[in-house]
Amino acid sequence: MSSYRIHGATGEWEVVIGLEVHAQVVSKSKLFSGAATEFGAEPNAQVSLVDAAMPGMLPVPNRECIRQAVRTGMAIDAQINKWSRFDRKNYFYADLPQGYQISQLFHPLVGEGRIEICLDEKDPEGSTKTIGIERIHVEQDAGKLMHDQHPTMSYVDLNRSGVALMEIVSRPDMRSPAEAGAYLRKLRTILRYVGSCDGNMEEGSMRADVNVSVRRPGEPFGTRTETKNVNSVRFVMQTIEHEANRQVDLVESGGKVVQETRLFDPDSGTTRSMRSKEDAHDYRYFPDPDLLPLVLDDAFLAECRASLPELPDAKRHRYETALGLSPYNANVLTAEADTARWFEALLTATAARQDKMEAEVARQAANWLISELFGALNKLGKDLETSPVSPEQGGELLALIGDGTISGSIAKQVLEKMLETGDGAAAIVEREGLKQTSDTGAIEAAVAKVLADNADKVEQYKGGKEALFGFFVGQTMKAMQGKANPQLVNELLKKALG
Amino acid sequence: MSDLTELGVAAIRDGVAKGDFTAVEVAEAFNANVAAAQPALNAFIVATPEKAVEAARMVDADRAAGKALGKMAGVPIGMKDLFATRGVQTTAASHILEGFTPEYESTVSQKLWDAGAGMLGKLNLDQFAMGSSNETSHFGNVVSPWRRNDGGNAPLAPGGSSGGSSAAVSARLCPAATGTDTGGSIRQPAAFTGIAGIKPTYGRCSRWGIVAFASSLDQAGSMARDVRDCAIMLEAMAGFDPKDSTSLDLPVPAWEAGLSADLKGRKVGIPREYRLDGMDGEVAASWEAGIAWLKDAGAEVVDISLPHTKYALPTYYIIAPAEASSNLARYDGVRYGLRDLPEGAGLQDMYAATRAAGFGAEVKRRILIGTYVLSAGFYDAYYTQAQKVRTLISRDFKDAFASVDVILAPTAPSAAFALGEKSADPLEMYLNDVFSVPASLAGLPAMSVPAGLNSQGLPLGLQLIGRPFDEQGVLDAGLAIEQRAGFAAKPEQWW
């Protein structure tokens, strides 16, 4: 469905993309040891005897890590394998204490699944595409080498050694950088909803290996390259763009794409070769004899399923159908689990304050959140997480609009004061005297003065320039310092203008 | 008591409990024997006389205070140097771990200390438990206390890999010792030195803290001078350990209390495939004697077939090296143990130099074999095929145990050979494991008991193999043989 094409010298090329995403599992301890997993600890402060691969140490699977991977699999509608097994991937490196990584090659925990992405957020239902997931397996992370601590030696930090990762392997179903970006964002959204990975790419808790090949539209797949460890959505898109163009140039100039591992350089936005297939490791995978096969029972699976929250697609659909939100608003509010949580708290508070059904106030709440609060927070360099205004306080403000105490424009001023002071909306309205007036006499007086001061415009209005009505409303509101009931202003103006 | 070092586990435990002698007296008597045998037997890599005395003092104090005493209270033992011991060098008889002193204690050794045992020292072994003669140790080979009666005084192999354990127990340097058995490393040395040794069902003893050789085969067990002593010590060693995923979550039976040499109603299987062409006549004769003794104990003896027996040895020598090649990858010079960092060397150079210097020839050979059989293009032909055969070998036993309760076979194809006799030809050395490897591949409990001496005056062992979890059946049949064999020979002290 994607019309993304590389325009080469000899014609058009289609890009084929598959992503292997490594997502760090949210758990208190590591995949096979009791050591802590917190980010940012002193080097080697979170290393058990198992993580350091001391002689005679044995791995014991961490139930919570398995549970998180199973929940993730369920969230992408995947087959959960009740029998899976750990394998050893053997290679030597100083950040790999055991000399092998415990992973799952032959029998992964999670099988075939799918993720639906949308390519136009204005039209989330109309522009969807399903990306196949081949598998999710769990494996150990490696440690980290530090080359800048000593003039001639490298240091090793094993804090990350043994931390649980999910490797989420997609099918080669993406056809443009935009699709890959949408896939990554959607995957991150799902992981955050499920709570199985925090999705913080800058902290390295989510990174992608990017497989790219090019072909003439309709022809068989070309030879792919794999660019390792790309750590932001933007970089993944850049990698694809660069790699696709590089491959097209190469093929068109008579060369051949070689299957190889490449590295992305964020400074130049380009990729370079790391090692070719000929130099590829022989990992000598074999079942880990220290571990029994992983067998999941029905009670465990039932608990995993019951613990899943409402997922983003279902939530978006419900926002549209049950709450009557626009597809755009529903999409914006469900794109992040935190946003949806905030919105739902706001909705509850707003409805309760006004003694209404949530569906009755949902549009008001959604519009206010998206067009007022987001903008105001943005100006302050804040987000919902750091917002000085709580959902409860938002509900209080919306209730004041709902019952006519203040107008929408006064509400903007009140919000600003709330953000500044952290005070409640009602207290601010009271203190600043911002209550909306429905004093007909006062408004009539203001209307009369505005019409008298602008006799020329009244003439023009009467001569057919009806657009001037808005001008009179504005002037009247200004004269009333914004506190006049806008409906009343409309009515009285209409009456006065005949 | 004239000589406390003639006593076994049960006699020491009971004597200490009754107050016939103190645990400290026992520890000191054995400490003296350990010291006197070094360096002639070279059974210990490190002696820890102070540890033995310290543990004994606590037992004596507990007894004086009227506290309950453990299963092994007052019994000093030798600890194979494959078990991590806190604060005491743990080497696996390798150069690469020379000087390595762990901050942790293996589950099995901790259980023994908790039961009141004390440590006389760390026993020599084949390097990383790879060998059948103890000649692969970095710390020099153990010399068997036994000598042929031909007056030649050729130094003999104590068996392997638990050769320090077997030599020390038979030479009265300790009443009992731990062993580990991957393909026969408890049973064959026990047979070579005229002692008893049991490898329990895979998973009975935790592997946590034991330097790994081949994870799916490694199993700790006890070595002592008789069946009862083996049972007592194994009870203290066994038990579920949540730190070992392959540990059996089963209660430990009271094997000592359950011992019975009355085999009425039991069936003993004699596997026809173990009758090899050109079998040592004296080994065959001792097997026949064993059959007669078990019949005498009331058992019915029947012929059985274990058709895949001939594939066991090649299967073992694919699976064990494959696992070892991966298990030994952690010895890389980065975090502990030997580091050989030539001037200007990078990481790869350091790996190469460290491993070249740190691993012995047999260990290197097995790492190479293991790496080869796991490599792309050969994996299916070797490793996958070996796993299939392993399943067939297990099935052979399962089928056999449908009709018999225990299997009787020789432990090893010959009595102890001379040091240097087989070390030039690894294949000939590997053939020593031919009778012990099948039970290892199937994870079954198996033990060796002394059956008598051959014409050269050297011990021969008989092997009993049982159903999974049926250590009791193995011990009972072993006891029946022990009582009838009347094995009382001991090596003449020449050291």
Q: Which residue, among A10, A12, A8, has the nearest Cα to A246 in the 3D structure?
A: A8
Q: What is the CATH number of the domain that holds B148?
A: 3.90.1300.10
Residues of B forming the active site: 80, 161, 185
DSSP A260-276: EEEEEETTTTEEEEEEE
DSSP 8-state symbol, A45 = S
Q: Give the model's confidence band at B460: pLDDT under 50 very low, under 70 low, under 90 confident, else very high.
A: very high
Region B362-378: mean pLDDT is 97
Residue of B nearest to A60 (CA): B245
Total structural domains in chain B? Answer: 1
Q: Measured between beta carbons, which residues in chain B are less than 8 angstroms from residue A59?
A: 245
* Tens digit of each residue's pLDDT (9 = 90 or more) over A344-379: 999 999 999 999 999 999 999 999 999 999 999 999
Proportion of chain A above pLDDT 70, given as a percent:
99
Strands (E), A36-84: 83-84
Q: Give the model's confidence band at B1: pLDDT under 50 very low, under 70 low, under 90 confident, else very high.
A: very low
* Tens digit of each residue's pLDDT (9 = 90 or more) over B13-41: 999 999 999 999 999 999 999 999 999 99
Determine the Cα–Cα distance for residues B142 and B451; give it in Å rounded to an integer: 23
The mean-pLDDT minimum among A261-265, A316-320, A422-426, B350-354 falls in A422-426
Region B442-460: mean pLDDT is 98
Q: Report the run of H or E that residue B121 belongs to, with start and end.
A: strand B118-123
- Give the position of tokens 């002592």: B224
Domain membership flag for residue B387 = no
- At residue B2, the pLDDT reads 59
Residues B33-68 as b or e (16 or more Cβ within 10 Å = b): bbeebeeebbbbbbbbbebbbebbebbbebbeeeee
Domain membership flag for residue B106 = yes
* Tens digit of each residue's pLDDT (9 = 90 or more) over A458-490: 989 988 888 899 899 989 988 888 888 888 888
- At residue A123, the pLDDT reads 72
- At residue A467, the pLDDT reads 87
Cβ contact, residue pair B326, A88, below 8 Å: yes
The mean-pLDDT minimum among A492-496, B121-125, B388-392 falls in A492-496
Mean pLDDT of chain B: 97
Mean pLDDT of chain A: 93
Domain membership flag for residue B397 = no
Domain residue spans of chain A? 6-304, 310-432, 440-496
Hey, what CATH topology would domain A440-496 get?
Answer: Arc Repressor Mutant, subunit A (1.10.10)
Nearest to A286 among B83, B246, B374 (CB): B374
Q: How far is CA A18 from the centre of its chain?
A: 19
Q: Give the model's confidence band at A442: pLDDT under 50 very low, under 70 low, under 90 confident, else very high.
A: confident
Nearest to B97 among A55, A94, A291 (CB): A55
Domain membership flag for residue B366 = no
Cβ contact, residue pair A58, B245, below 8 Å: yes
Report the gap between the CA of A110 and the closest CA in chain B (Å). 22
Query: Angle at the Cα of A8 (from A7 to A13), degrees rounded to 5?
Result: 65
Region B318-346: mean pLDDT is 96
- Can you give the residue range of the structural domain that contains B67? 4-260+466-485
Mutate to test the interface with A, among B81, B216, B245 (most CBs of A within 10 A): B245
DSSP 8-state symbol, B421 = S
* Tens digit of each residue's pLDDT (9 = 90 or more) over A293-308: 999 999 999 999 999 9
Report the gap between the CA of A165 and the closest CA in chain B (Å). 20
Proportion of chain B above pLDDT 90, given as a percent:
96
Region A199-221: mean pLDDT is 94
Residue of A nearest to B90 (CA): A55
Cβ contact, residue pair A290, B246, below 8 Å: yes
Cβ contact, residue pair A90, B329, below 8 Å: yes
Domain membership flag for residue B138 = yes
Region A138-154: mean pLDDT is 93
DSSP β-bridge partners for residue A209:
A20
Report the gap between the CA of B87 and the closest CA in chain A (Å). 14
Domain membership flag for residue B404 = no
Q: Give the model's confidence band at B388: pLDDT under 50 very low, under 70 low, under 90 confident, else very high.
A: very high
- At residue A2, the pLDDT reads 64
Report the gap between the CA of A3 and the closest CA in chain B (Å). 40
Q: Is B267 in a helix, a strand, or coil?
A: strand
Q: Report the run of H or E that residue A17 belongs to, with start and end.
A: strand A11-24
Determine the Cα–Cα distance for residues B357 and B247; give it in Å rounded to an integer: 34
Q: Give the model's confidence band at A437: pLDDT under 50 very low, under 70 low, under 90 confident, else very high.
A: confident
Q: Give the model's confidence band at A404: pLDDT under 50 very low, under 70 low, under 90 confident, else very high.
A: confident
* Tens digit of each residue's pLDDT (9 = 90 or more) over B61-99: 999 999 999 999 999 999 999 999 999 999 999 999 999
Cβ contact, residue pair B208, A58, below 8 Å: yes
Please say if the pLDDT value at position A274 is more than 50.
yes
Please say if the pLDDT value at position B9 is more than 50.
yes
As to burial, measured by CB atoms within 10 angstroms (0-12 exposed, 13-18 middle, 19+ buried), residue B153 is exposed
A140 close to A165: Cβ distance less than 8 angstroms: yes
Nearest to A58 among B92, B207, B329 (CB): B207
Cβ contact, residue pair A55, B90, below 8 Å: yes
Domain membership flag for residue B73 = yes
- C-alpha pair distances (Å), B405 with each of A458, B93, B270, B465: 114, 38, 11, 9
Domain membership flag for residue B40 = yes
Q: Measured between beta carbons, which residues in chain A are less than 8 angstroms from residue B323?
A: 289
The mean-pLDDT minimum among A238-242, A492-496, B203-207, B378-382 falls in A492-496
